[in-house]
Chains A and B, each alone.
Chain A
């Protein structure tokens, strides 16, 4: 089921004018910020499809930047997000792509600072719902409906079992799990949606395991 709860339909409370182009876009921006884990110095936003065609009129640009500033869909500051970003010293670049995307409302967000960069691709599927489809070149399927663990690890036997074991010990149930890798034996990404929230302590325990190179918790 694409839509899990009644509040996906009656909701979100948001700033107009478009749930796909404004609220969904804000949520993609906010997820990108969470995945980057800190305030970026520079953000490059590429719009595809309908986003590329209509983002100015829909406020998609201010919405994505509002999300990157960690604003929720109903935060009135979204309207002034470009100005706020400038005041916070964040450089924002917009690009329009002619490429035909799989989904008509697609945005690619590259967040950077001196410590590193994260690139996220998100689609806005309607009614304010979004999915993250790509993270640093890995394809994935992330709804944002449940607490989600993203774990970068070396692709070798035992890595998945170790993580699953830690979650089981803390009585955290896995609702959905996906493993993506670019090629056998290289870096891989585990995406785990959980029924229970994942604490900082659990995150740290996973991070400490051999072969795990990065852990992000989205809730």
Chain B
């Protein structure tokens, strides 16, 4: 059950005729010696925390300490429920508002699950809970979806990187987006190979994304990038389910992401020295939040 690449993961799943989630669960049992029940229970606990974060973000008036973020998840939900003709669609907006909810809770030092990181924690829950709502999925299917996301994240983390400091936002929000795309494909009954294509399509559209947090905080643009990551993941999943394939294979997209990350200047990797953080408004906000001390 050992896999190092997405190609190997798909090959195992196909030859053993099992979904990606099952390959990940068995690999985890082998790696840790823990029982299936205990591994499943641990993942279910993660799902519970995600659900609570979504609930908080959509019902409470969440504000971060800096005041930069909060309140948008509720705004998006209200808009979705009020406006008859949406420009995108209710499912996409559901995923977007849920991802925003979790990300806002994170910015306000609330309890979340890092998936794969805290800065990108909204995307997987946003997509999994929205897909579940749409598809009437049971709890087990949702927990399994987290194992699918985990399998993809595990491969990206071990072959490339998942933190903004190491590889820019493409590594952080990009990985989460790819993980979510693969996860919802399995929830919708897609094949392992479709999940892999969804990874490639999603991650491609995150390539080059810099990590440029205003005032160095995990808030702007992070919360909105979580929102858009969720939207990209849902659309990438639909494209893969439609049979669309990535011209460049998933593992090569991951490798490209890694190399772009290595070539990226340090100013654009979470240091708050470039990008949006270095705009006049970004700098003004930084001074307002931290006073005269330069970050």
Residues of chain A touching chain B, judged by Cβ–Cβ distance below 8 Å, are: 1-23, 50, 53-54, 56-59, 74, 76, 79, 104-105, 125-128
Contact = CB atoms under 8 A, between A and B. Distances in A.
A48 to B, nearest CB: 12
A5 B109 contact: no
A22 B118 contact: yes
Contacts of B45: 13
B271 A126 contact: no
A78 B215 CA distance: 22
Interface of B: 24, 27-28, 31-32, 39, 42-43, 45-46, 49, 64, 66, 105-119, 121, 124, 146-147, 149-151, 153-154, 157-158, 161-163, 165-166, 179, 213, 215-219, 266, 269-272, 289-290, 295
Nearest to A1: B158
B109 A15 contact: yes
Given A6-B151, A13-B46, A105-B165, A127 B114 contact: yes
Contacts of B219: 17
Greatest chain B CB density within 10 A among A6, A15, A125 is at A6
A79 B109 contact: yes
B218 A16 contact: yes
B163 A126 contact: yes
B165 A6 contact: no
A66 to B, nearest CB: 11
B189 to A, nearest CB: 22
B215 A20 contact: no
Contact of B111 (A1, A13, A21, A104): A13
Contacts of A9: 115-116, 149-150, 153-154, 157, 162, 179
Contact of B114 (A14, A53, A79): A14
Given A9-B157, A57-B216, A76-B111, A14 B118 contact: yes
Contacts of B166: 104, 125-126
Nearest to B218: A17
Contacts of A5: 28, 31-32
Contacts of B270: 50, 54, 104
Nearest to B214: A57
Given A13-B111, A18-B118, A4 B31 contact: yes
